[in-house]
Structure 1
Amino acid sequence: MIPWHADTNHILGSSQTDSLATPRPHKSAAVLIAIPPLTRSISQAATRSSPSCCCLQSPTRQSQARRSSSTHPPAAAARGRDDDTSARDPPGDEDGNGDDDDKGDGAGGRRDGPAPGGEAQERQPRRLAPIASSRTAKWYYSAFHNVTAMVGAGVLGLPFAMSQLGWGLGTVVIVMSFVITLYTLWQMVEMHEMVPGRRFDRYHELGQYAFGDRLGLWIIVPQQLIVEVGTDIVYMVTGGQCLRKFHDLVCHGRCPNIRLTYWIMIFGSVHFPLSQFPNFNSISAVSAAAAAVMSLTYSMIAFFASVVKGTTQSTAIAVDYGLKASTSTGKAFGVLNALGAVAFAYAGHNVVLEIQATIPSSPETPSKKPMWRGVVVAYAIVALCYFCVAFGGYYAFGNSVEPNVLISLERPRWLIAAANLMVVVHVVGSYQVYAMPVFDMIETVLVKKHKFTPGIRLRLIARSAYVAATMFIGMTFPFFDGLLGFFGGFGFAPTTYYVRHSIKISLTLLP
């Protein structure tokens, strides 16, 4: 068959995509068509006498070869394709994750010819990666995962953020953050399949398409790792604090005091077996329990307990609603810390593409429709939890509220103990949601760059090492409010508010 040049459809425009459907003849074929009849007869005679000379075939044989190749596609290209993504995945993307397995230079990952041998081996690491290994999720899976990713330790710190900002500025910041992040999340959902036939399953893939392979990687990956690893560290501290609070409320002074370090170790030990779940869909039950039940329940407990305390406390005890800090320097740092805490609370955007990657897609029903449906449900729950806890906690305690509002609440003791236990269950699920993209990065690099064999052994070693590292850092820096402000301002604010707008502008200006 005539050798031909195959572009990938990782680029915009119909002309490049049309070239995929009709192979373009090699230049030698064009020369043969233009030569005189005598020379062409000699060429045809030579072709008949030597069938292996594929570059001297006649146009009739060329058309027959093309029809034969279209009727009987290569087995390697037909194998390993999921039914729910075959209609939308481009040629050269047999793993169904929307990106080419053999990327060349350039933002779009173009390559200048068919992949060499070993195509199945190149596909294997991506098929085994946790993100796109399963595309069977329903719309309510995305709702569970988004609530689990967003509502968590951040909501418990919102009353403390209000104490640094006051009623006026605090209300404006929280409400405006809700509106802006909902808009930016809609942008992410739309950009997941904005290139026909391709799915951006990972945040850094979208950044690489917008800014180029190298620049996009350096812009997105460091910030995304700060967000995801930082969130897991904060959840280690949150889980340990809530376990200790639960222990103190249940024992009520009858049990010996146990240091926070040991509670963080107890909480972290739960994640060693849970981290072995292979992909997002496999932890959907954990997310459902954490999101649908725990987050809404403990948020409402915190809200009603705060309101009851605020309305029933003695009038002799005045609640101070002034700024927590007294000096100008303290107020400035308090405002910055509060802005970081609010950014941390609205930080579920960093795993949106990874969540959407688990939803099947077709030309009739693109993945953005069920994904957006799940996002709307998730944000309704977010609004209920965030506004109630932020305003109710600040109303009850003023600027004396603790960084974790549940630590400030004492009565009814059994109800507050139950709320702390629910927070523990929730952050167990949230830890896994934020850790899954990190697992995907680690395992992909180890398999593709360092030639590790994918499997249970690699998963056990790599993921256990990550859990141990985040647990150790949480034990070393168990400062809830400081970690919220630091990671919120340093990592969450850029990836949630700024970077995605830059990506949208860059993609809009692409030729």
Structure 2
Amino acid sequence: MEMEMDEVMAGRAFEDEEDDHKREGTVWTATAHVITAVIGSGVLALGWSVAQLGWMMGPLTVVAFAWVTYYTANLLSDCHRSPHPTTGHRNHTYIDAVRACLGPQKVLICGVAQYSNLVGTLIGYTITSAISMMAIKRSDCFHENGHNSRCGVSGNLYVALFGVLEVILSQLPSLEKISWLSILAAIMSFAYSFIGLGLSIAMVICHGDIRGTLFGVKVGINDIPLTARTWNAFQALGNIAFAYTYALVLIEIQDTLKSSPPENKAMKRASLYGIGITAIFYFSIGSAGYAAFGNDAPGNMLTGFGFYEPFWLIDIANLFIVIHLVGAYQVFSQPVFAAWEMYLSSKWSQNSIVHSTYNVKLPLVPSTSFNFTLSKLISRTLLVIIVTLVAMTFPFFNAVNGLIGAIAFWPLQVYFPTTMYISQMKVKKGTQKWIFLKTLSVCCFFVSLIAVVGSVAGIVDSLKHATPFQTMY
């Protein structure tokens, strides 16, 4: 038995060296990727989301989504290798895992769901980063001219600036080679989360009571009709789901790990640390934000100007948001780039535009050079430009984030992981485990469905009050 295991491990090591590159990822680098991927712009809407659901359902919903995310992440971790979770062949991407576990007929559905949501997340991050950059300018304006001043700022310039930066960073190598960017982004996410939490707690202390109601925003208060109240509650589910966006990049993160210890075990530890830390943050920030503002909680905690002072701390928090989302953008964009470039490489195996590598020495760092292919330069730049233009057209923070989260949650976070796990681990139909997994999938489907309805209603309503490419905040 020992000799057989040695042979298996030797075979795995040979496969890992031969397939495309040697992997050096650890539990801690994977945890950094997880935190970077999960703690994103969604944290800023948690106070508003809890306000739509109230003290009874709001915090409970945040915890429930955390549990579902962690549970299905563990199922998905066992599908990184097939047909066995520790000794099978690597599946480098989410789609590879679907193909190996469920067959090619499900690949198209998964591909559309995964990559449309990856691109949707990039759009959401672009919008959020631009709003945070504008919030810095508006915060300074309010500080100088008073809180009632009109401090309108055009969003297009900041969307374009973020897009230019991402065009440059998009030429970086694969996800494994930018662990430093994920670590920096993870630090930033902790920093602005702590600032938001601290400001909320300080506000609760200042006004001396915990605000909010058992069932959230009330109908008729501040002219909120029943339909709007209902759509907002549905949209809140999408926003919380968006805050836990993770499964669509889990396999790609797991593919960066060393072969020893087994990747599925290491990834489960990374998910436990990453999602556990995230859940604590989300519960604390959502609850503190609601306690501070009650049913008037702004849609974006740090840019909705529930806080005006200290203005310099608001500026720092928003700067941290931008830095974090610059890194998170790359975590979510690299799988899109990799899939597209793999397709081009197989389609035109002899084309010089796709395969010829050019080397340019950087003027400020002569010892460092920049390697690229023309197809990589053009295709990555084009994708970032398209994302930037869409962000200018639909700059609605809560509604867009809610729609992205709602669409991604059931198919990518629940349906495919549970279905792949049943196939991979040969869970028999009718057993207790099979019934539980199927029930979980059905319940989450209906949650996603009502969240989609609420988010679409929010976008339709927002379009009545906005002019594309001329957005002012």
TM-score (structure 1 length as normaliser): 0.71
Distance 2:245 2:346 in 1: 30
| 1:425 lines up with 2:313 in the alignment | no
Question: 1:36-435, aligned counterparts within 5 Å?
Answer: 87-88=11-12, 95-96=18-19, 127=20, 133-194=21-82, 195=84, 196-213=87-104, 215-251=105-141, 252-253=143-144, 257-291=152-186, 293-313=187-207, 322-323=216-217, 326-362=224-260, 365-407=261-303, 408-435=306-333
Q: Which amino acid aligns with 1:243?
A: M
Superposed CA deviations along residues 93-112 of structure 1, whole A, max 9, x for unmatched, are: 9742xxxxxxxxxxxxxxxx
**CA pair 134-240 structure 1, distance change in 2 beyond 3 A:** farther
Higher relative contact order (CA 8 A, sep 6+): 2
CA contact (8 A) 2:13 2:259 kept: no
* Matching residue of 2:405: 488
3-state SS in 1 of match to 2:302: helix
How far apart are 1:340 and its partner, in Å? 0.8
Distance 2:13 2:235 in 1: 44
3-state SS in 1 of match to 2:60: helix
Segments of structure 1 that go 5 or more residues without pairing to the other structure are 1-17, 22-83, 97-126, 128-132
How far apart are 1:167 and its partner, in Å? 1.1
3-state SS in 2 of match to 1:405: coil
How far apart are 1:398 and its partner, in Å? 1.5
Distance 2:211 2:88 in 1: 62
How far apart are 1:256 and its partner, in Å? 7.8
Q: Which amino acid aligns with 2:193?
A: S
Task: Give the number of aligned pairs.
Answer: 389
Distance 2:201 2:422 in 1: 44
How far apart are 1:189 and its partner, in Å? 1.5
Superposed CA deviations along residues 446-489 of structure 1, whole A, max 9, x for unmatched, are: 11124442341221111111111111111111000110111111
How far apart are 1:330 and its partner, in Å? 2.1
CA contact (8 A) 1:341 1:485 kept: yes
Distance 2:410 2:310 in 1: 36
CA contact (8 A) 1:89 1:198 kept: no
CA contact (8 A) 1:239 1:424 kept: yes
* Matching residue of 2:367: none
Question: 1:8-27, aligned counterparts within 5 Å?
Answer: none
Superposed CA deviations along residues 201-234 of structure 1, whole A, max 9, x for unmatched, are: 2111111122211x12122111101221111000
Distance 1:169 1:222 in 2: 32
TM-score (structure 2 length as normaliser): 0.77
3-state SS in 2 of match to 1:191: coil
Distance 2:10 2:123 in 1: 38
How far apart are 1:429 and its partner, in Å? 0.6
CA contact (8 A) 1:209 1:216 kept: no
Distance 1:471 1:489 in 2: 22
CA contact (8 A) 2:341 2:376 kept: yes
Distance 1:510 1:178 in 2: 24
Superposed CA deviations along residues 100-144 of structure 1, whole A, max 9, x for unmatched, are: xxxxxxxxxxxxxxxxxxxxxxxxxxx4xxxxx451112211011
* Matching residue of 1:72: none
CA contact (8 A) 1:89 1:199 kept: no
Distance 1:464 1:134 in 2: 28
Distance 2:68 2:385 in 1: 35
CA contact (8 A) 1:89 1:197 kept: no
* Matching residue of 2:462: none
User: Which structure's CA Rg is the greater one?
Assistant: 1
3-state SS in 2 of match to 1:278: coil
CA contact (8 A) 1:287 1:429 kept: yes
Distance 2:51 2:139 in 1: 25
Distance 1:505 1:324 in 2: 43
3-state SS in 2 of match to 1:404: coil
**CA pair 176-231 structure 1, distance change in 2 beyond 3 A:** same
Is 488-497 or 276-285 further displaced after alignment?
488-497
**CA pair 209-247 structure 1, distance change in 2 beyond 3 A:** same
Distance 1:416 1:376 in 2: 31
Superposed CA deviations along residues 124-172 of structure 1, whole A, max 9, x for unmatched, are: xxx4xxxxx4511122110110000000101111111111111111122
**CA pair 400-450 structure 1, distance change in 2 beyond 3 A:** farther
Q: Which amino acid aligns with 2:270?
A: G
Distance 1:180 1:431 in 2: 24
Segments of structure 2 that go 5 or more residues without pairing to the other structure are 358-371, 429-473
3-state SS in 1 of match to 2:88: coil
CA contact (8 A) 2:200 2:288 kept: yes
CA contact (8 A) 1:302 1:405 kept: yes
Q: Which amino acid aligns with 1:420?
A: N
Q: Which amino acid aligns with 1:346?
A: Y
